[in-house]
Every structure is written in structure tokens, then in C-alpha cells.
């Protein structure tokens, strides 16, 4: 029996940072990883996909070179080199996490599948570890939907996409949300024909309708075929091809392609963790039930990251670790409900989001002001030749606090932080109008947009 002050299951975006904080506070910590150090973000999520998005952007700009007066020859993409570049960036990050943990003082690394044996006991292979504090950071994996004929065809997920070192002739992507759109645009830019099939009436349905419509237009301009309202999705093999039945209200009822990517959501890795032996409660979808400070139903056990259903991003998982460490070590009662929703969609141009959508604000019925500006009216975007998209902001007309913003345009993933930080400061929007911004930037037009706000 190995006894520790704390056991951490999983080395995703919360576990390693938490290990550093706990060992730094003098605790002996065991951390367990069953597969790849760094988890989803490092190996099959953010880092490899954004590396590939960068390759796709390079191909796109190379094709547009003449628009900028640059005469380059024909553009072709070497998928083996795209993958090799991705493998290097992702591999460096993975080994960075592994080395960090293995060199961490007072930290013992176990490699293998962890299972609860009791509320204070976890097994890894033949080892038994006990601790008064156990932290679950097991993340999630691609959900495989129940769709007719799926057992008849081969399909890819975000994980197996990482091994693709060839150009699919025609990639069918099922799922019109973040993961599906990023892969869809990237492979279109690499040279594949791409069809995105979405069951709903619009792409990225959690966003405002104008955002969804603009994203659809951006993708269609590049020749991506978007099929919405696909109410009857099914698959069959026809010769070398995979045929997806779409049954849309209009257009052809079938789409034939060479490869199929499923991007219809994620599910938590909680089904093989022995949670029942510890008495840890999960909800109907398998997410660990936690309170505002990420404590589970069992005292002494916490759940962080994607597996608690409180967030589905690297930054929410990392923030979970900050919250737990603040409460346990710093006597600082931080809470999940203190954080403001924020994320980005990494198509090009990217979407940066903070706070409420316009639709959510409308639902509250509160008096609000809305500012909106097309990227065609942002000098920096014009100069860069990247004028697709728009930005908008919604503020409370009475308190003057910013309620939410969406920046779909060049630099949107970075620019959104200038609004996010003001939201955290709970400062009135007028502060932004008094700040002197750098010219020429996208951010310099935020005060102008604010100055043109109208009642919602």
C-alpha cells in the first residue's frame, strides 16, 4: 500500500498544475496517466489542431498570394509534412508535461489505468494507492452516435484524424460545431472536397443567428458544402465510397465521400473509473456531479476539467485547478460561478467570444445596448485583406457593464480579451472609450463600435 497526501487521476489540463501547487505546499502527490501525458489538448485536441490550422492558413494565403501582389507558383500541400510538423509540436508539448511531472519534487508518476477501490483508495495495475484527497481529471473522448449503418463503414474521430497523413478525396464531416468546422475548413484548404452535415437548422447553434450565418457564408465561400437540417443521417458503403444519407428538406438526399469524420460531441471518461465503489455521484450523461468549488458528492474527492461538465475547454480545466488550489492551499474561496464564459472557434477568421450572446441578453428582457461593426469597416482587416466577419458587443443600459461580445474576424481570438478583462474588472464600458488604443489594430475600433451602440 502506497500512501500519499493526494492522488491525481489524469494528466490533462488540471492535473499537472494541481500537482505543482500541492507539492509546492509540501504534500506528497501521486499522479496517474493511462495513455499520453498532457491529455486531449496536447495530443488530440487544441495543440495539434491549431498547428494544422496554421498549415491550412499558410496554404490559403499562398493561394491568395496574387491578391497581395506576390507571385508564387502553384500551391500544393504535402500532408506527410503537415502531419510531421503537427507531431513535432504536439510531441514537444507531451514530453514537456512528462518531464515536468517526473522531475517534480514530492511527485510520483504512475502509468496505467486508475480505478477507485474505495473512497480513499485507487488501484493502478497491481499497485494500491491511498490518500485523504483524490482529484479526478480524466477528461473525455469523442461520442459515437447511434446512427444507422455506422457499423458498416469506417469512420474517423478527432483522435484518429491525428494519424491522417494523406489527403482525403472527399471528407464528410458529421457535426457542425467547433471540432467539425475546424477540421472541415482545414481539410478544404489542404485540398479535400468537404461536406459538413449538421442535424440542426444552423451551424454552431449556441451562437447568435447572425454569427452562425456569417460562419456558414465564410465556409461556403471556400467551397465547403454545408448541409443543414440533416434529420435522417445514415451511412452505407458503395464501392470505395461512403455514402451519407442526409434527407434534408432540400438538395440531394445523399452525399458520397471517401472519408467520414464524426464530430458530434464528447463524453466523459467516467465509465471505467470504478466511481460506484467510491460512491461518487454522476449525472445522466456520466459527468461527475460537483459543487461550485468542484467537490464531488464524496468528501475528499474533487473532479476537474471536462469530466465535471462545467466546461469543455483547456482554459476551463486549468481554471478548475486554480479554483481547487486556491481553496485548499491559499484560503481563497474561488468559485466556478465567478468565471465568465469565454472561448474561441479556430476557423479563419476566428471567432472570439465572451459572456452572453445577444439572444441570451434579449431573453432576460433587461434594457441593453448593442454595437456592431463589419470587418470591412476595420482598417487593419482591410490592410490585411481579411475583411470577413463582424464584431458586436452588448452592454447593460443601466449598469453600463458589458454583458457579452463576439468578434468574428481577423485576430478575434486575441482581441476578445480586451473586452473580457474589462468584464472581469466589472468596469463600465465607458472605460474602453477613455483608453487610447494602438493604430492600426482591430481593437482600436472597439471604442468606435461602443460609441455607435443602439438600444437592443
Ligand X SMILES: Cc1cc2nc3c(=O)[nH]c(=O)nc-3n(C[C@H](O)[C@H](O)[C@H](O)COP(=O)(O)OP(=O)(O)OC[C@H]3O[C@@H](n4cnc5c(N)ncnc54)[C@H](O)[C@@H]3O)c2cc1C
Cα atoms in the Cβ-side hemisphere of radius 13 Å centred on 229: 8
Q: What values do phi and psi take at 450, rounded to 5? A: -65, -40
By CB under 6 A, is residue 40 in contact with ligand X?
Answer: yes
Cα distance between residue 96 and residue 181, in whole Å: 29
- Residue 46: how many other CB atoms lie within 10 Å: 20
Closer of 277 and 372 to ligand X (Cβ): 277
List b or e across 112-142, with b for residues whose CB sees 16 or more CB atoms inside 10 angstroms: eebbbeebbbbbbeeeebbbebbbbbbbbbb
Q: Which is nearer to ligand X, 270 or 387 (CB)?
A: 270
Alpha carbon 410 to its chain's center: 18
C-beta closer to ligand X: residue 123 or 387: 123
Kindly state whether residue 20 participates in binding ligand X, applying the rule CB under 6 A: no
Q: Which is nearer to ligand X, 386 or 413 (CB)?
A: 413
* Residues in 86-145 that interact with ligand X by CB under 6 A: 113-114, 137-140
Element (H, E) at 455: strand 454-455
Binding-site member from 29, 179, 194, 420 for ligand X (CB under 6 A):
179
Strand ranges inside 26-65, DSSP E: 29-33
- Which DSSP string corresponds to 257-306? ESEEEE-S-EEES-TTS-HHHHT--B-TTSPBP--TT-B-SSTTEEE-GG
Q: Judged by CB under 6 A, does residue 319 bind ligand X? A: no
**Number of chain residues interacting with ligand X (CB under 6 A):** 38
List the one residue from 176, 180, 305, 371 that touches ligand X (CB under 6 A).
305
In the complex with ligand X, which residue's Cβ is closer, 32 or 246?
32
Q: Nearest approach, Cβ of 7 to ligand X (angstroms)?
A: 11
Q: Is 346 in the site for ligand X (CB under 6 A)?
A: yes
Q: Tell me the three state secondary structure of residue 396.
A: strand
User: Of 3-11, 166-174, 369-377, 447-455, which part binds ligand X (CB under 6 A)?
Assistant: 3-11
Q: Which range touches ligand X (CB under 6 A), out of 224-232, 309-317, 348-356, 369-377?
A: 309-317
Which has the closest alpha carbon to 295: 139, 138, 134, 140? 134
Of residues 378-437, those binding ligand X (CB under 6 A)? none
Q: Which stretch binds ligand X (CB under 6 A): 34-42, 69-77, 287-295, 354-362?
A: 34-42
Residue closer to ligand X by CB (options 89, 248) is: 89
Show contacts with ligand X in window 248-277 (CB under 6 A): 269, 273
Q: From 279, 302, 280, select the one nearest 291 (Cα to Cα).
A: 302
Binding segment for ligand X (CB under 6 A), chosen from 5-13, 63-71, 386-394, 427-435, is: 5-13
> Is residue 185 involved in binding ligand X (CB under 6 A)?
no
Contacting residue, 4, 8, 12, 387, with ligand X by CB under 6 A: 12
Sheet holding 241-245, edge to edge: 234-238, 241-245, 254-257
CB of 101 to ligand X, least distance (A): 12
User: What's the gap between Cα 205 and its chain centre?
Assistant: 15
Measured CA angle at 110 (ends 109, 114), to 5 deg: 135
Closest residue to ligand X in the complex (CB): 139
Among 19, 33, 174, 409, binds ligand X (CB under 6 A): 33
∠ Cα 74 79 85 (to 5°): 110
Rule CB under 6 A: say whether 13 interacts with ligand X: yes
Out of 10, 180, 352, 411, the residue judged to bind ligand X by CB under 6 A: 10
Cα 171 from Cα 184, distance rounded (Å): 8
Contact status: 306 vs ligand X (CB under 6 A): yes
Residue of the chain from 60, 267, 277, 315 that contacts ligand X (CB under 6 A): 315
Euclidean distance between CA atoms 293 and 8, whole angstroms: 17
**Cα–Cα distance, 130 to 108 (Å, whole number):** 13
CB of 242 to ligand X, least distance (A): 21
Phi, psi of 455 (to 5 degrees): -60, 140
Residue 17 makes contact with ligand X by CB under 6 A: no
Shortest Cβ distance from residue 45 to ligand X (Å)? 3
Q: Please provide the distance, in angstroms rounded to a whole number, between the alpha carbons at the two ends of the chain.
A: 63
Q: Which residue, 41 or 407, is less far from ligand X as judged by CB?
A: 41
Give the integer Cα–Cα distance in Å for 450 and 263.
37
Just list the catalytic residues.
439
Which part of the chain contacts ligand X (CB under 6 A), choosing from 46-54, 95-103, 144-152, 350-358?
Answer: 46-54
Judged by beta carbon, residue 9 or residue 164, the one nearer ligand X is 9
3, 34, 89, 341: residue in contact with ligand X (rule CB under 6 A): 34
Give residues in contact with ligand X (CB under 6 A).
Answer: 9-14, 32-36, 39-41, 44-46, 49-50, 113-114, 137-140, 158, 179, 269, 273, 305-307, 312-315, 317, 346
Amino acid at each position: 500500500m502506497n500512501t500519499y497526501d493526494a492522488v491525481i487521476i489524469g494528466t490533462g489540463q488540471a492535473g499537472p498544475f494541481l500537482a505543482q501547487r500541492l507539492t509546492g505546499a509540501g504534500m506528497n502527490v501521486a499522479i496517474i496517466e493511462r495513455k499520453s501525458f498532457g491529455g486531449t489538448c496536447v495530443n488530440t485536441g487544441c495543440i495539434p489542431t491549431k498547428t494544422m490550422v496554421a498549415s491550412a492558413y499558410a496554404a490559403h494565403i499562398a493561394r491568395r498570394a496574387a491578391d497581395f501582389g506576390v507571385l508564387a507558383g502553384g500551391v500544393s500541400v504535402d500532408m506527410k509534412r503537415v502531419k510531421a510538423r503537427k507531431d513535432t509540436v504536439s510531441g514537444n508539448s507531451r514530453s514537456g508535461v512528462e518531464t515536468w511531472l517526473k522531475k517534480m519534487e514530492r511527485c510520483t508518476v504512475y502509468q496505467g489505468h486508475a480505478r477507485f477501490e474505495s473512497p480513499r483508495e485507487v488501484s493502478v495495475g497491481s499497485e494500491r494507492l491511498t490518500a485523504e484527497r483524490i482529484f479526478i481529471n480524466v477528461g473525455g473522448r469523442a461520442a459515437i452516435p447511434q446512427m444507422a449503418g455506422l457499423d458498416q463503414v469506417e469512420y474517423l474521430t478527432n483522435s484518429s484524424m491525428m494519424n491522417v497523413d494523406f489527403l482525403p478525396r472527399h471528407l464528410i464531416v458529421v457535426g457542425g460545431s467547433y471540432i467539425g468546422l475546424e477540421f472541415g475548413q482545414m481539410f478544404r484548404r489542404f485540398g479535400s472536397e468537404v461536406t459538413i452535415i449538421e442535424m440542426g437548422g444552423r451551424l454552431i447553434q449556441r451562437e447568435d443567428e447572425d454569427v452562425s450565418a456569417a460562419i456558414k457564408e465564410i465556409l461556403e465561400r471556400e467551397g465547403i458544402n454545408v448541409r443543414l437540417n440533416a434529420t435522417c443521417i445514415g451511412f452505407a458503403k458503395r464501392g470505395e465510397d461512403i455514402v451519407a444519407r442526409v434527407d434534408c428538406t432540400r438538395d440531394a438526399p445523399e452525399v458520397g465521400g471517401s472519408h467520414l469524420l464524426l464530430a458530434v460531441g464528447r463524453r466523459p471518461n467516467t465509465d471505467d473509473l470504478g466511481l460506484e465503489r467510491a460512491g461518487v455521484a454522476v449525472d445522466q450523461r456520466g459527468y461527475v456531479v460537483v459543487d461550485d468549488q468542484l467537490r464531488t458528492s464524496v468528501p475528499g474527492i474533487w473532479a476537474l476539467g471536462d469530466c465535471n461538465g462545467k466546461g469543455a475547454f483547456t482554459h476551463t480545466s486549468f481554471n478548475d485547478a486554480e479554483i481547487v488550489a486556491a481553496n485548499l492551499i491559499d484560503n481563497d474561496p474561488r468559485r466556478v460561478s465567478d468565471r465568465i464564459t469565454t472561448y474561441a472557434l479556430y476557423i479563419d477568421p476566428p471567432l472570439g467570444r465572451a459572456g452572453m450572446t445577444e439572444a441570451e441578453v434579449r431573453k432576460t428582457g433587461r434594457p441593453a445596448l448593442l454595437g456592431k461593426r463589419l470587418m470591412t469597416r476595420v482598417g487593419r482587416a482591410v490592410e490585411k485583406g481579411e475583411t470577413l466577419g463582424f464584431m458586436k458587443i452588448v452592454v447593460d443600459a443601466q449598469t453600463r457593464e458589458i454583458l457579452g461580445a463576439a468578434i468574428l474576424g481577423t485576430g478575434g481570438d486575441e482581441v476578445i480579451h480586451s473586452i473580457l478583462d474589462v468584464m472581469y474588472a466589472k468596469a463600465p464600458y465607458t472605460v474602453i472609450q477613455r483608453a487610447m488604443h494602438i493604430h492600426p489594430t482591430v481593437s482600436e475600433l472597439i471604442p468606435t463600435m461602443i460609441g455607435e451602440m443602439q438600444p437592443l
